[in-house]
Amino acid sequence: MNKTIISLPLFLALSIGARGQSGLEYDLKKYATSSQTVVDERRWHNNDLENSRLYVARSMVSLVDYMMGRADSSAFDGLHRPEHNVLAASFDNVNATGRFIHYDGKRQTFGRLLAGGELHTERSGTLFGMAAYQRGEMTRTSLNYATHPEDYAPYFVADTLGQSAVNREIYTVYGGYSLALGGWQWGLEARYEGIAQARRQNPRHSNYTHSVGVGLGMSRVWQRNIVALTLRPEWSRQSIAAKSLLDGVRFMDFYGFGLWNRRESQGAVSYGRQQTLHGIGADMAWMHDGLWAWTLAAGWKYRSMNSEEANFKELFGSHTHHFHQQLIVERRFDKCFWLFQFSAKEYARSGSEHVYEQQVQHADEGLFDYVKVGTNQLYHSSGVSMDLRSKVISPVRLQSSVAMMAAVGWKRDEERYDSPQMKVANQTLTMSLGVEYKWQRGHFAWETGLNAGMQSGWDNSYNVTATTDAVQEAMAYTPYLLRGESRQTLEGRLVGLRKLSDKLAVGGFVKGGYLNSDYREMVNIRTGLFLRF
């Protein structure tokens, strides 16, 4: 799903200088991740490379109190910065013409409210937290009832009614505690996300999702080095219910490439499924400060998915491993500040399709039951992506700076089914250039930026033997086209800020984006207001 739906669009900059730290952008993005996020999206495909080290440190819950405290030496002075409480409201609108992913829909419109902040004391540590509410709709979605569908692919459940509009509400509560004890830094965090989703035309088609994640962290600071480790267990459950009074409606269970099991399809009146995710992960970081400052970060996450139908059959499951790595390098020169970032992530998923057989339980009483007699592991998918970014920030006057950025990325995805043998593969190369200008005078500040990019697809292959129909086109062929498309993108942003006092500021932003390819056009607009105190 488009990540802009799940997280607040945060494109704000508050301070100008050779180092180019964007205060409010960081203040908001430190709360931006969803409970289902595998890789920290704050520092993936981001343009504010000057904040990447802050995002790494903030993602390590044990370092929050260290960042809030006063610097005891010149080492890591960039991590010790003022933290601010934030109130924000934003509105997102994404509209596509041409082809689009069936579960994303043609148009996504969402509004969001967010409040977050910290409470720090020198002796007792730091409490921090966030609460957010999001509401909106997705139009012309089809062939999926699940939220966060990427975690459950390809085992979707849907009906024969075709495209529809979906209303969705998201409630997020996040909090944690960090302190220094015994020469070490310690931290604990917890996040809850609740989602209520229903079809606009038929509220009987509903999905209620509950997700809980916990983080346990420890870190050690010595001389000019920091090492940190965070463990992250998680749990999520979706309860899907669908009812219809129409005689022609059928509910289908999909298991890849648009295939669906006719024998296991449910009746025409109602359908139910409960999907559960269990996960465990770990994030590690090693930070070094000096003339050449660098950060190494890596992580792993394992997720096990299981689906249980209303008739108590556990038809499908999957096992997924996610990995990610990152290297950040910073070098300050006399007249400029240079940043380099390398990011990579990989995943591998295998699916399970359980086989049931009707067996006699009590022959005399005529009682029968379905018993699981085997499991087929026929579906597999994997992917790898790499991204290189470099940015140079240079002051042009006492209160203004200009920045130039270049990026190049490579990505490969593969999906296959063993029987019948089918395989889809995509490979793309992306490049982009960007420029930013920041200006500040007195109580006013503003920032503008422009990014242009292109993507080229090659070595794409589509070998699907099943009969081509509308379902296969939506669930297999269209995603294949969009993953490997050649496209051009253009993004621009404008931010305004008015300081009311040393700690209080108000502002707003607007950002627009345009995507064009052979198969689609997409326009997105994001606007927001904020209060920092």
Write the Ramachandran bin of 29: left for phi over 0, alpha for psi from -120 to 50, otherwise beta: alpha
CB atoms within 10 A of CB 358: 9
Domain that holds residue 223: 3-438+451-532
- The pLDDT confidence band at residue 39, using thresholds 50, 70 and 90, is low
Encode pLDDT of 523-532 as tens digits: 999 999 999 9
Please give the average per-residue pLDDT across 23-40, as a whole number: 68
Least confident of 98-102, 133-137, 339-343, 445-449: 445-449
- The pLDDT confidence band at residue 18, using thresholds 50, 70 and 90, is very low
Task: Tell me: pLDDT of 47 over 60.
Answer: yes
Please give the average per-residue pLDDT across 411-430, as a whole number: 96
Instruction: Report the number of distinct structural domains present in the chain.
Output: 1
Task: Tell me: pLDDT of 20 over 60.
Answer: no
Residue located via tokens 């994303």: 104
Task: Tell me: pLDDT of 17 over 50.
Answer: no
pTM over 0.75: yes
Q: Identity (one letter) of the amino acid at 304?
A: S
Give 487 or 312, the one with higher predicted confidence. Answer: 487
Does 248 reside within a domain? yes
CB atoms within 10 A of CB 167: 15
Does 359 reside within a domain? yes
CB 156 within 8 A of CB 254: yes
Distance from the Cα of residue 416 to its chain's centroid: 24
Task: Tell me: pLDDT of 268 over 70.
Answer: no
Least confident of 3-12, 207-216, 274-283, 452-461: 3-12
Kind of pairing between the strands at 157-159 and 225-243: unpaired
Task: Tell me: pLDDT of 169 over 90.
Answer: yes
State the average pLDDT for the chain: 88
Does 446 reside within a domain? no
Does 73 reside within a domain? yes
Please give the average per-residue pLDDT across 165-181, as a whole number: 96
Give 24 or 530, the one with higher predicted confidence. Answer: 530
Q: What angle do CA 156, 242, 317 make, to 5 degrees?
A: 30
Please name the helix (run of DSSP H) or strand (run of DSSP E) that holds residue 478, with its range, or none: helix 478-483
Least confident of 210-214, 363-367, 423-427, 445-449: 363-367
Task: Tell me: pLDDT of 213 over 60.
Answer: yes
Kind of pairing between the strands at 379-397 and 400-417: antiparallel
What is the per-residue pLDDT for 384? 98
Please give the average per-residue pLDDT across 351-378, as a whole number: 82
Does 444 reside within a domain? no
Please give the average per-residue pLDDT across 276-301, as a whole number: 96
Least confident of 21-25, 222-226, 386-390, 438-442: 21-25
Please give the average per-residue pLDDT across 161-173, as a whole number: 91
- How far apart CA 495 and CA 526 sit, in angstroms, is 12
What is the per-residue pLDDT for 36? 58
Encode pLDDT of 450-509 as tens digits: 999 999 999 999 999 866 788 899 999 999 999 999 999 999 999 999 999 988 999 999
Encode pLDDT of 59-106 as tens digits: 999 999 999 887 666 678 888 877 889 999 999 999 999 999 999 999
